Structure 1
Amino acid sequence: WEPHQAVWIGFPGNPEEWPVGLEAAQLEVAAFANAVSDRGAGETVVLVCRNKVDANVAQALVAPCVIVVTESFGDIWLRDTAPIFSIDSESLSGRNFGFNGWGGKYQMPGDQDIGQRLAKRFDLPIEDQGWILEGGAIDGDGAGRLITTEQCVLNANRNDHLTKEQVDQHLCEAFGKQNICWLGDGLIADHTDGHVDNLARFVAPGRVAIPQSDIQGDPNTEIFEDAARRAQSSGLDVVRLPSAGLYKVDGDVAPASYMNFYIGNVAVVVPQYGAENDAEAVAQIAALFPDRKVIGLSSKALLRGGGSFHCISQQIPQQA
């Protein structure tokens, strides 16, 4: 919620990665970019396309104030492949972590160095960290607190040579955080091995939002309750938001979550799935951000790729 100077957003275009619903996913991303840009009143929006063909498609869908650039990459999840930026002593810096395709599951050319290339393109300083971490695996409140999940960050398919204590130390060294809240598992069927940005998000210093299921058959009910207990035990103020409930894509459970919202300078964009709690999720998130427009936008096509608006974006803080 601190001011952003810009945000990078990945634009889908590879038909091998999007064999179904590519055009719909492109429309959803364009609508997201336009909402965050807010006709130039919001932050600078940079839509990252993998080639000129995709760039031409994107340019036709977005407002003139949205910047469209071309850089090769494997898939659109820049939250995980781009550097994580922060302001330290009024100086902007980016942490560039290793990326191994979410534990070796989806390794595609270009994803390993897209962060370095984007940073160079926009003349932004970054530091290589030497261990694997995805941006969707952590969330911070800017006031010394960080939240993550054991399922993902301690997974043997990421950093099998590091203990929990060593990861704690690395996180504190990278981000200057002193209080790390470890949640357990992430959502069922999340191919990222449980990214926290589908489960728990800071909405103010020391205050974290976590879903609460009110729908029969929700596969994540126990996961939500365990996360809430752990967060409260860590001294965090927990606010409960609606769950998308049991949501399936082509008959399989999918990790649909309203927690994958994006907080921009003027707008908060909330995923919508055509689910029972869509409108209520927008209303409750709006109550948490009274100084911003809170907009619900379709994310059904993006979910086919495994994520939503927070996953495809990486913000760059504004220096004072």
Structure 2
Amino acid sequence: MTKQTNFPAEWAKQAAILITWPHIESAWHYMLDKVEATYLALAKAVAETQPLVIQLHASIKPEQFLTLLKDNDINIENCFFAKVDSNDTWARDHGPVSVTNAGKPALLNFHFNGWGGKFAFDKDNLLNASMAEAGLLPSLSDIDFILEGGSLETDGLGTLLTTEQCLLNENRNPEFDKAAIEKLLSESLGVDHFLWLQNGHLEGDDTDAHIDTLVRFCDENTLLFQGCQDEADSHFQPLSAMKAELEQLRKPSGEPYKIVELPLPKGIYAEDGHRLPATYANFLITNKLVVVPTYADESDSAALAIIAELFPERKVVGVDARPLIEEHGSIHCITMQLLDGTIDLAERFKLASA
């Protein structure tokens, strides 16, 4: 029997990439110019090849924002806008999740609680519903379950890779055990093969070990993971234990995965001395690109080369993610892909003077 629901891989054809622009009322208020430089570099790369949907807070003046985009040579024709208020800008976790139902593309609105109540989330939790009410997300369905996109990694063929530390954390859905979570995700995402990791964590991570900071599918056979080669580094033990787990994972056929290791950037620290979660695994796959976070580190070039080899049909672009990790996220965390057919990019998405 053919499955009715499927959770496509990130490399499936996309209608657009969704981002939420940083604003004065977000966590970026103290470094807005600095983080905007990263957003502008990301927007420039993505909009060169495919549509980009940008959520704009009420504090952002449309005319000034359009001037900012044009001054940075961003392809305005591929930029679309939704005027909605947000607490913050982590679109991977508050954005809708793309699926197909009976072959038709659809979007799911899982609930968001600020990674277990760590941060304000009331406006972020309403973003998808607000866009749907405005007619911007016509295929949105609500799922009464707290879940972030950064905690999900799939091969597009029914396999889900995730971490126990996040999905089984009592700060999300305390009434759900592993069996109940698997049942819900089987029904909502069409997943029938679960891979749970017990190990792996980055210092400074607020997400309770989101999988997209640690391990990514590059195709149905290959897992690319954030490793650590320095035995003196505090990440060596947890990431080595994760590597050992990955070596034991099996595809539905019973075959092992090909696993590929990324180098770890040298430690980057906040002003108060705590380490920031720099990872190369937090890259974004678009229709024609792989956008990879870089950190002005000697390992940047090696990481870019490894990823380029695994995605030979896509151009690999590095974007400086050092501003992003100051608030404990990176490139994948601020983006969400919208599956082809899930959104109608009509004139109502355009700003008046675009």
Matched, 1:80 2:93: yes
Superposition deviation, residue 233 in structure 1: 1.7
List per-residue Cα deviations over 1:270-316 (Å, max 9, x = no partner).
00111221111111101111111101110111111221111111111
TM-score normalised over the length of structure 2: 0.84
Match of 2:237 among 203, 219, 222: 222
What is the match of residue 8 of structure 2?
Answer: none
Match of 1:2 among 2, 9, 12: 12
Q: Which runs of 5+ in 2 are unaligned?
A: 1-10, 251-256, 343-354
Does the Cα contact within 8 Å between 1:208 and 1:237 map onto a contact in 2? yes
Match of 1:304 among 306, 326, 330: 326
Q: Percent identity?
A: 32
Q: Which amino acid aligns with 2:57?
A: R
Matched, 1:192 2:207: yes
Does the Cα contact within 8 Å between 1:87 and 1:319 map onto a contact in 2? no
CA distance in 1, matches of 2:44, 2:132: 23
Does the Cα contact within 8 Å between 1:186 and 1:196 map onto a contact in 2? no
Q: Taking structure 1 as reference, are residues 54 and 10 closer, same or farther at Cα in structure 2, changes over 3 Å only?
A: farther
Q: Taking structure 1 as reference, are residues 262 and 153 closer, same or farther at Cα in structure 2, changes over 3 Å only?
A: same
What is the match of residue 64 of structure 1?
Answer: 76
Between 166-175 and 131-140, report the one with greater CA deviation. 166-175
Q: Which runs of 5+ in 1 are unaligned?
A: none
What is the match of residue 122 of structure 2?
Answer: 109
Superposition deviation, residue 193 in structure 1: 1.1
Between 169-178 and 55-64, report the one with greater CA deviation. 55-64
Match of 1:50 among 54, 57, 61: 57
Superposition deviation, residue 104 in structure 1: 0.6
Superposition deviation, residue 10 in structure 1: 1.4
Q: Which has the higher strand share?
A: 1
| Aligned-residue CA RMSD (Å) | 1.9
Matched, 1:136 2:138: no
Q: Taking structure 1 as reference, are residues 199 and 56 closer, same or farther at Cα in structure 2, changes over 3 Å only?
A: farther
Matched, 1:90 2:103: yes
Superposition deviation, residue 150 in structure 1: 0.8
What is the match of residue 46 of structure 2?
Answer: 36
Secondary structure of the corresponding residue to residue 204 of structure 2: coil
Q: Taking structure 1 as reference, are residues 305 and 289 closer, same or farther at Cα in structure 2, changes over 3 Å only?
A: same
Superposition deviation, residue 56 in structure 1: 4.4
List per-residue Cα deviations over 1:100-158 (Å, max 9, x = no partner).
11101102331111012234442331222211111101111101111111111110111
Q: Which of 1 and 2 has greater Rg?
A: 2
Superposition deviation, residue 228 in structure 1: 2.2
CA distance in 1, matches of 2:258, 2:184: 25
Q: Which amino acid aligns with 2:311?
A: F
Superposition deviation, residue 15 in structure 1: 5.1
Matched, 1:249 2:256: no
